[in-house]
């Protein structure tokens, strides 16, 4: 079988690891690392023994108790013995899974039903006596001893995942680390992570939800890792217009290949503050155009372009370790001038830049407080807010202590 065949291994997995709300408290244990790295390569078959056997949600937490060789499943608080019900379901489920022809199974660690390694088994007097395996998992590995099985706690690195995949399907020379995600893969993955609830949450934070899918930043970072750095991929992602794809573009792009006209085009396209900030943080600040654009954009009228100017100032204050105090002193002029812009996304960014510069070292802290006091005298609601908020943070004892103790401050 070749590396390019379309066959996808079938992997059983504890359903809570896929983000299904099946835990005793109605929550889940989404494992973003496993999901993002494997979902395009395998077909997952989610299984939740406790929910599927009818324990319900929410339910009492359970644990293993009694003879370590054949422990029983018992309610943590009520001590009700639930072994019969779960065991009956396990017998049925194991027969069902036989027809699935699974190539592997990923179990949830620390679960009395699903855990594979080192689960505590208690005595009836609630004392720890030894370690064992979850009831479902024990039956599974007994019935299918040749199906590779692991638990999430041992699949935390790409090397561990790769090793597992090789066991899962040894006929394929399978090295997913060599397989980089391309543009269609990424768009499909983003769409598969679409979450309408998150989109509502984004809108509450003032993020433009128009083309958003509701994908979280940790997921985007995980996808970016698998995609690797690529300027051409970044261009395609940006052109897609999908909210999260544009943020991803700023992570995967190679700053060495970014041109000034690209920066201008992207800034022109900004329609949401988070895209603006992510581009400045992830990409723009690493290009040779960062300093000139910070000053130039701070004078432009469009709200998000002006914001980008101040967002660049803020990120340069945090990340550009080689910059001199004088470079930052020059920026105070733009901060004073634009502090009267009443637009929310500009106001917040001006304040952000002022605070970050003022937290760089003691001398800039003094200068930023002085500038804030000047701004405070301006007859503008926005200027007064920017100044008082910045003074509060810059004069805070913790900030002052940190600056006083920082070398070369």
Binding site for ligand SF4 (CB under 6 A): 14-16, 22-23, 48-51, 108, 111, 113-114
Nearer to ligand SF4, 50 or 338 (CB): 50
Q: How far is the CB of 50 from ligand SF4 (least distance, A)?
A: 4
Nearer to ligand SF4, 107 or 310 (CB): 107
Q: How far is the CB of 83 from ligand SF4 (least distance, A)?
A: 14
| Segment holding 14, helix H or strand E | strand 10-14
Q: Report the alpha-carbon distance of residue 356 to residue 315 in Å, rounded.
A: 8
Q: How far is the CB of 336 from ligand SF4 (least distance, A)?
A: 56
Q: How far is the CB of 113 from ligand SF4 (least distance, A)?
A: 4
Nearer to ligand SF4, 114 or 383 (CB): 114
Q: Report the alpha-carbon distance of residue 393 to residue 207 in Å, rounded.
A: 25
Q: How far is the CB of 92 from ligand SF4 (least distance, A)?
A: 16
Nearer to ligand SF4, 10 or 307 (CB): 10
In the chain, the N- to C-terminal Cα span, in Å, equals 62
Q: Report the alpha-carbon distance of residue 344 to residue 314 in Å, rounded.
A: 17
Q: Report the alpha-carbon distance of residue 297 to residue 306 in Å, rounded.
A: 5
Q: How far is the CB of 69 from ligand SF4 (least distance, A)?
A: 22
Q: How far is the CB of 45 from ligand SF4 (least distance, A)?
A: 12
Nearer to ligand SF4, 50 or 274 (CB): 50
At what angle are helices 362-376 and 381-394 packed, to 10 degrees? Answer: 150
Whose CA is closest to 237, among 185, 174, 310? 185
| Helix and strand totals (H; E) in the chain | 19, 8
Nearer to ligand SF4, 114 or 223 (CB): 114
For residue 128, CA distances in Å to 64, 108, 120, 247, 321 come to: 10, 21, 6, 49, 52
Q: Report the alpha-carbon distance of residue 53 to residue 59 in Å, rounded.
A: 12
Number of Cβ within 10 Å of residue 85's Cβ equals 14
Nearer to ligand SF4, 27 or 288 (CB): 27
SS3 118: coil
Whose CA is closest to 6, among 34, 37, 42, 39? 42
Q: How far is the CB of 72 from ligand SF4 (least distance, A)?
A: 16
Q: Report the alpha-carbon distance of residue 326 to residue 321 in Å, rounded.
A: 13
Nearer to ligand SF4, 17 or 245 (CB): 17
């Amino acid at each position: 079988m070749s590396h390019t065949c379309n066959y996808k291994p079938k992997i059983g997995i504890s359903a809570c690891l896929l983000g299904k709300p099946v835990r005793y408290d109605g929550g889940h244990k989404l494992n973003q690392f496993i999901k993002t790295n494997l979902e395009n390569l395998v077909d997952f078959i989610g299984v939740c023994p406790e929910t599927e056997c009818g324990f319900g949600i929410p339910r009492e937490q359970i644990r293993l108790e009694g003879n370590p060789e054949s422990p029983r499943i018992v309610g943590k608080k009520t001590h009700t013995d639930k072994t019969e019900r779960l065991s009956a379901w396990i017998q049925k489920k194991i027969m069902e899974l036989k027809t699935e022809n699974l190539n592997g199974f990923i179990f949830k660690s620390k679960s009395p039903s699903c855990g594979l390694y080192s689960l505590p088994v208690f005595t009836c007097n609630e004392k720890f006596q030894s370690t064992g395996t979850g009831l479902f998992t024990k039956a599974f590995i007994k019935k299918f001893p040749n199906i590779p099985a692991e638990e999430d706690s041992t699949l935390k690195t790409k090397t561990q995942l790769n090793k597992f995949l090789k066991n899962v399907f040894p006929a394929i020379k399978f090295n997913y680390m060599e397989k980089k995600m391309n543009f269609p893969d990424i768009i499909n993955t983003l769409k598969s992570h679409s979450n309408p609830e998150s989109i509502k949450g984004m809108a509450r934070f003032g993020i433009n939800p128009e083309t958003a899918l509701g994908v979280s930043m940790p997921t985007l970072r995980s996808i970016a890792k698998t995609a690797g750095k690529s300027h051409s991929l970044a261009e395609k992602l940006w052109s897609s217009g999908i909210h999260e794809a544009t943020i991803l573009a700023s992570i995967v792009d190679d700053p060495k290949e970014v041109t000034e006209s690209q920066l201008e085009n992207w800034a022109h396209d900004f329609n949401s503050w988070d895209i603006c900030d992510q581009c400045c943080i992830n990409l723009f600040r690493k290009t040779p155009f960062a300093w000139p654009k910070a000053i130039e954009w701070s004078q432009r009228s469009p709200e998000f372009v002006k914001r980008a100017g101040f967002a660049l100032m803020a990120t340069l204050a945090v990340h550009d370790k080689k910059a001199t105090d004088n470079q930052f002193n020059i920026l105070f002029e733009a901060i004073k001038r634009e502090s009267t812009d009443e637009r929310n996304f500009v106001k917040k960014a001006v304040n952000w830049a002022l605070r970050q510069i003022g937290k760089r070292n003691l001398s800039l802290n003094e200068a930023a407080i002085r500038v804030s006091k000047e701004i405070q005298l301006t007859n503008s609601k926005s200027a007064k807010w920017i100044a008082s908020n910045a003074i509060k943070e810059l004069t805070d004892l913790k900030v002052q202590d940190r600056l006083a103790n920082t070398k070369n401050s």
